[in-house]
Homo-oligomer: A and B are copies of this chain.
Amino acid sequence: MRHETHRLPASASTLEVLAVVEQLNRRPEIHGILVQLPLPPQVESRRVLDAVRPEKDVDGFHPENLGRLAQKRPRFVPCTPAGVMELLRRSGVELAGRRAVVVGRSDIVGKPMALLLMHADATVTVCHSRTRELAAVTREADVLVAAIGRPGAVRAEHVKPGAVVVDVGINRVSDPALARELVEPERFAEFEKRGYALVGDVHAPQVSAVAGALTPVPGGVGPLTIAMLMANTVRAAAAAS
Of B98, B111, B128, which contacts A70 at CB under 8 A?
A: B111
Of B65, B67, B124, which contacts A62 at CB under 8 A?
A: B67
A107 with B71: CB separation less than 8 A: yes
Distance, CA A115 to CA B97, complexed state (A):
21
Of B64, B73, B127, B128, which contacts A64 at CB under 8 A?
A: B64
A105 contacts B by Cβ under 8 Å: yes
Distance, CA A123 to CA B120, complexed state (A):
20
Chain A interface size, as a band, is: 20 to 34
List, in ascending order, chain B residues with CB within 8 A of A107's CB: 70-72
Total copies of the chain = 2
**What does the 1/0 interface line of A117-152 toward B look like (CB < 8 Å)?**
010010111111011100001000000000000000
List, in ascending order, chain B residues with CB within 8 A of A126's CB: 114, 118, 123-124
Distance, CA A45 to CA B78, complexed state (A):
26
A12 contacts B by Cβ under 8 Å: no
A125 with B124: CB separation less than 8 A: yes
The minimal Cβ–Cβ distance linking A138 to chain B, given in whole angstroms, is 10
The minimal Cβ–Cβ distance linking A224 to chain B, given in whole angstroms, is 23
Given the known inter-chain contacts A64-B67, A128-B118, please indicate yes or no for A123 contacting B111, CB distance below 8 A.
no
List, in ascending order, chain B residues with CB within 8 A of A63's CB: 63-65, 67-68, 70-71
List, in ascending order, chain B residues with CB within 8 A of A114's CB: 126
User: What are 10 A-B contacts defined by CB distance under 8 Å?
Assistant: A62-B67, A63-B64, A63-B65, A67-B68, A98-B132, A99-B137, A123-B125, A123-B130, A123-B132, A124-B126
